[in-house]
Chains A and B, each alone.
Chain A
């Protein structure tokens, strides 16, 4: 009995279980109600109380004050910081740019990561070594990756322009017109490993019968992928996409090292926008910007979380 259950362990919730009328409730363990739920959650609650409650209070207070380096004893500023951010054209530009950037890179990385995981799923020589090679990029700290990119793409001492030159492509990679596509490409190169890793782990948990059934009829491989595998993997796709989107939204290190948000404000993401305010010593304004960003993006969260945790009830 337990043997078949262990085979069902997966990161991707799947439709392999019997669904009863009280489908949501079959997840509950009635024995665990009562004090157990509090004891089990106590580390989390303690953690949140100490490390989250205070910063939020502190940050929001700061955002309502005239809190800058020039003003050691900040006075009350009401909503003027918020107003300043809301009426700043470059804030809205950064918001739109960051959202667009996030959507594009996430879409690419989901598709490429999934395709790569699928392609990787068969046995072939050298699979183990290549698996390590494929997840190496996420082991490099973005701060270091940014500097390595800067070296690689340098028009004078960088490998990539020189190699392209050698094969006859005289492209300028970081010029004003090419810098945004270049940043997208760099993000894909750096983070496809992430989605690949998640999909690869999830694919390991796909029941072997499904695999076999698909093998028997080679012609229907695409149908297998699209009508069986994809729906099965939907929650995983959501998780991977959501995680990647949140991190893409917060991209800072690589873009800051390469472009510092320029030329002009063309590549200024929201993180760079807030960072520049902070570097100028204006804590109140930076806090207000951060709060606004969270508030604007907040509505998306419940939507995505419900999709992820609803999971198997589809």
Chain B
């Protein structure tokens, strides 16, 4: 009897293993694109999830049904989680993988990606020049510009209107917080002192009658994207990464002032104490829950904040304006698509890029929810955020130095400064460390 039981158990085990193995072999995916029986070449593209991937999927769907039939090309968009996409692409690239035919790249990463991408021939006249230039390495174009990202101030129009009529309280509070009496101003004319004073006005700790708990939500988490946001403060105060002779300039008085803007806002309680861990989603939540009155935020946040089904408290009451400062300049970076130099279907990849490199294709992309770095493609969009974007792209941006290790520099800035932003350690020593790291990473 025991023998039978043993045999039966073994039999079950073997059957189970066989079943699993059979189903698994059926799940094999071929690497990279392939050529199917009828001569159609399959191309694979990586995109980050969200509006970009959704829009690109619609573009590729239109292509596959349209010109793709004639070209015998079928393009598939694979999504890759935002958090890990560049780590994974780094792995793929360094092993010279041919799995994907197109990579997603960005202006802050292009210098590292360039040697794994094929130079592109684009119709330069159609794009914003700055977008094209930000994707060039050694004069060659390695990325086709897609979604530009800039910063804006989102503010509650109803609350700001109240503030503009409340001069006396505002002056009292600005004196308390900044030591000088300021008048309430429209956000489009703010400098950073106005920003701080207005944040204090909307903070219940200073203004018990404030409709919001805090004035703003600082994005102070240790992230490269938050270093990009902080750069706005630096550059709008007249500072920069490198001085006029090309040497690291992060120990300048403007840099110190820029860190102290963040430090003041955090340590004086004008933002939630949890904003030391805040980035894009937290700032969205602060505005949509009505706990903050305004914030510097990525322009991509407009759709959610203005939607009645996602943010009923702010829908229809969200104003957009440029970042505070004398010249109201914003950081800009551009997402892009590049051709994998080690892909197995380069001629077909070039054909598809040629299709993308056109106003109609980009218009489809924009209509499907993406953004383009192409004036003509954005032209017939009239929503406030795209209008703002167009204006900013035209004359409202600055550019950090185009260094090969730009991504590492942002990482180092976030590592070195995010403590000082929230009152940990001294501003001076944090900036000295950042400056030393910048020197090492820029080779200067």
* Set of chain A residues within 8 Å of B111, measured between Cβ atoms: 70
Given contacts A176-B422, A176-B424, contact A280 B411 (CB under 8 A): yes
A262 near B418: Cβ-Cβ < 8 Å = yes
* Residue with the greatest number of chain A CB neighbours at <10 A, chosen from B113, B405, B417: B405
B274 near A90: Cβ-Cβ < 8 Å = no
Minimum CB–CB distance from B32 to chain A (whole Å) comes to: 19
Q: Which positions 425-444 of chain B face chain A at CB distance < 8 Å?
A: 425, 430
Bound complex: CA of A259 vs CA of B414, how far in Å? 12
With an 8 A cutoff between CB atoms, is A265 at the interface? yes
* Set of chain A residues within 8 Å of B404, measured between Cβ atoms: 70
Q: Which positions 152-200 of chain A face chain B at CB distance < 8 Å?
A: 153-157, 161, 172-176, 179
Query: Residue A278 contacts which of B87, B221, B288, B419 (CB distance < 8 angstroms)?
Result: B87
* Residue with the greatest number of chain A CB neighbours at <10 A, chosen from B84, B418, B420: B418
B274 near A155: Cβ-Cβ < 8 Å = yes
Query: Residue B291 contacts which of A155, A258, A275, A279 (CB distance < 8 angstroms)?
Result: A155
Query: Residue B272 contacts which of A172, A258, A280 (CB distance < 8 angstroms)?
Result: A172
Chain B, Cβ-Cβ closest to A256: B83
With an 8 A cutoff between CB atoms, is B129 at the interface? no
B272 near A259: Cβ-Cβ < 8 Å = no
Bound complex: CA of A104 vs CA of B29, how far in Å? 44
* Set of chain A residues within 8 Å of B231, measured between Cβ atoms: none
A263 near B422: Cβ-Cβ < 8 Å = yes
B405 near A263: Cβ-Cβ < 8 Å = no
Q: Which positions 56-110 of chain A face chain B at CB distance < 8 Å?
A: 67, 69-70, 72, 90
B419 near A263: Cβ-Cβ < 8 Å = yes
* Set of chain B residues within 8 Å of A176, measured between Cβ atoms: 273, 276, 419, 422-424
A264 near B416: Cβ-Cβ < 8 Å = yes
* Set of chain A residues within 8 Å of B90, measured between Cβ atoms: 69, 278-279, 281, 283
Minimum CB–CB distance from A171 to chain B (whole Å) comes to: 9
A275 near B425: Cβ-Cβ < 8 Å = no
With an 8 A cutoff between CB atoms, is A13 at the interface? no
Using an 8 Å CB-CB cutoff, how does the interface string of A252-273 with B read, 1 for contact, 0 for none? 0000001111111110000000
Bound complex: CA of A67 vs CA of B274, how far in Å? 38
* Set of chain A residues within 8 Å of B273, measured between Cβ atoms: 155, 172, 174-176
Q: Is the interface of B mostly helix, strand, loop or mixed?
A: helix
Minimum CB–CB distance from B224 to chain A (whole Å) comes to: 9
Q: Is the interface of A mostly helix, strand, loop or mixed?
A: loop
Minimum CB–CB distance from B334 to chain A (whole Å) comes to: 19
Query: Residue A154 contacts which of B222, B282, B416, B418 (CB distance < 8 angstroms)?
Result: B282
Q: Which positions 267-318 of chain B face chain A at CB distance < 8 Å?
A: 272-277, 282, 285-286, 288-289, 291-292
Bound complex: CA of A155 vs CA of B275, how far in Å? 9
* Set of chain A residues within 8 Å of B195, measured between Cβ atoms: none
Bound complex: CA of A175 vs CA of B289, how far in Å? 19
With an 8 A cutoff between CB atoms, is B93 at the interface? yes
* Set of chain B residues within 8 Å of A155, measured between Cβ atoms: 272-275, 282, 286, 291
* Set of chain A residues within 8 Å of B408, measured between Cβ atoms: 280, 282
Bound complex: CA of A155 vs CA of B221, how far in Å? 14
Q: Which positions 215-241 of chain A face chain B at CB distance < 8 Å?
A: none
Bound complex: CA of A51 vs CA of B364, how far in Å? 46
Chain B, Cβ-Cβ closest to A173: B274
Chain A, Cβ-Cβ closest to B96: A72
Given contacts A175-B274, A260-B223, A278-B87, contact A265 B419 (CB under 8 A): yes
* Set of chain B residues within 8 Å of A153, measured between Cβ atoms: 274
* Set of chain B residues within 8 Å of A179, measured between Cβ atoms: 276-277
* Set of chain B residues within 8 Å of A8, measured between Cβ atoms: none
Q: Which positions 62-108 of chain B face chain A at CB distance < 8 Å?
A: 84, 86-87, 90, 93-94, 96
What residues make up the interface of B, taking CB atoms closer than 8 Å to A? 84, 86-87, 90, 93-94, 96, 111-113, 115-116, 220-223, 272-277, 282, 285-286, 288-289, 291-292, 404-405, 407-408, 411, 414-425, 430
* 9 chain-A/chain-B pairs, Cβ below 8 angstroms: A69-B93, A157-B289, A176-B423, A264-B222, A264-B425, A266-B419, A280-B407, A281-B90, A283-B94
| Ranked 9 nearest A-B pairs via Cβ | A264-B419, A262-B222, A175-B273, A172-B273, A155-B274, A156-B285, A156-B289, A174-B274, A279-B87
What residues make up the interface of A, taking CB atoms closer than 8 Å to B? 67, 69-70, 72, 90, 153-157, 161, 172-176, 179, 258-266, 275-276, 278-283
- New A-B contacts (5) at CB < 8 Å, excluding given A261-B222, A264-B222: A156-B282, A172-B272, A172-B274, A179-B276, A262-B414
